Amino acid sequence: MAGSSPSEIIFISVNQSVTLIGKVWLVLMIFLRGLILLLAGYPLYQDEEERFVCNTIQPGCANVCYDIFSPISLFRFWLVQLVTLSLPYIIFTIYVTHKVSNGLDVAPNSLGPELVRCFTGAYIFQLMLRTLLEAGFGAAHYYMFGFSIPRRFLCQHPPCTTQVDCYISRPTEKTLMLNFMLGVSALSLFLNALDFICAIKRSMRQKSKRKLMECVYEDERDFLGTPDPNFSVGCQTLETEAGPRGSFRKRCSNSTPTSNDHFLTVKRASPFAGDPEKLSSLKMMTTKHACSARQTHIDTHRKKKNKGLNLSNVLLSK
């Protein structure tokens, strides 16, 4: 992804932060709510007040009865619901764009994959807010409109002098539309709950992968850059400086006892301390032993590194 444009990096960051259920919910908002509301809801409710007929000629009676029957237009209620539920997602997209843009400003010449980030925490927060709004609008929808549109509405309220019968246009079609929108709200609430579970699981997987990669990085750093102190002391101890014949002086300042210190002790206490050839052969055997132990240590680190990398590849493939 080297050479990607800033818009592509922002799009990939948003795409990685949103789960599959979140994308399904977005399609639900666009098609089952937006398009159906504009294509089917608007023609159904555009002449609602004009077709609300009451059997009276009393001025203002029909208007008052219609206000009691429908305090808020269903079409406007659904529009407000659609816009309000889209706000958390829009704010989340703006937040991701702002963060990625700041990263691009800090490193303008770097447009590689290191700038792509996953904003799981922000996504979970906007998902919780979206779920609360969905539940609130669903409860208000049921409280104000119920599950059906009646054919006739009885009204007795000033300025109506007597009980007035009012008739609603196309009640069956409006009832179907009402129940359809309630079903879409219930489906949206269900998808939000599933999305929340998936986002939590993904966050836990990301944390486990991050910990695993940190462990692999630590092993690799220890293997490449930080030698084992026991072997470093041993190698320093083995670097002795030859003085007069039959004597060696230790150059290592560390007083920690090692296998080479034991070699020097044996050298001083041995009965052939004055024989330089035997001392040289004994020194060579100890040096070979130290180098063999160091190679074993390096092989062990290499096996741990390969094992960690294989485990990380398996987790990333899942």
CA dist 186 and 259 (Å) reads: 74
What's the mean pLDDT in 151-175? Answer: 88
239 vs 90, more confident: 90
Other Cβ atoms within 10 Å of 151 Cβ, number: 10
pLDDT given at position 218 = 66
- Quote the pTM value: 0.61
313 vs 215: which has the higher pLDDT:
215
Please write the tens of the pLDDT for every residue from 100-115. 877 666 555 555 555 5
pLDDT at 264 over 80: no
pLDDT for the residue numbered 182: 92
Alpha-carbon distances of 163 from 34, 54, 65, 284, rounded to whole Å: 39, 10, 11, 117
Task: For residue 134, report the phi and psi dihedrals to the nearest 5 degrees.
Answer: -65, -45
Mean pLDDT over each residue of the chain, to the nearest integer? 74
DSSP category for residue 52: -
pLDDT at 192: 92
Q: Are 27 and 131 in contact (CB under 8 A)?
A: no
How many residues are there in the chain?
Answer: 318
pLDDT tens-digit readout, 117-152: 778 888 899 999 999 999 999 999 988 888 888 899
- Residue 178 pLDDT more than 50? yes
Domains with residue ranges and CATH for the chain = 6-48+70-147+172-206 (1.20.1440.80), 229-317 (no CATH)
What is the rounded average pLDDT of the residues 263-276? 46
How much of the chain, in percent, has pLDDT values that exceed 70?
62
Which of 17-26, 138-147, 247-256 is predicted least confidently? 247-256
Q: Give the DSSP letter string of 99-122.
A: HHHHHHHHSTT--SGGG----HHH
Provide the pLDDT for residue 248.
Answer: 39
* pLDDT at res. 310: 59
Q: Which of 132-141, 160-169, 184-193 has the lowest mean pLDDT?
A: 160-169
- Residue 272 pLDDT > 80, yes or no? no
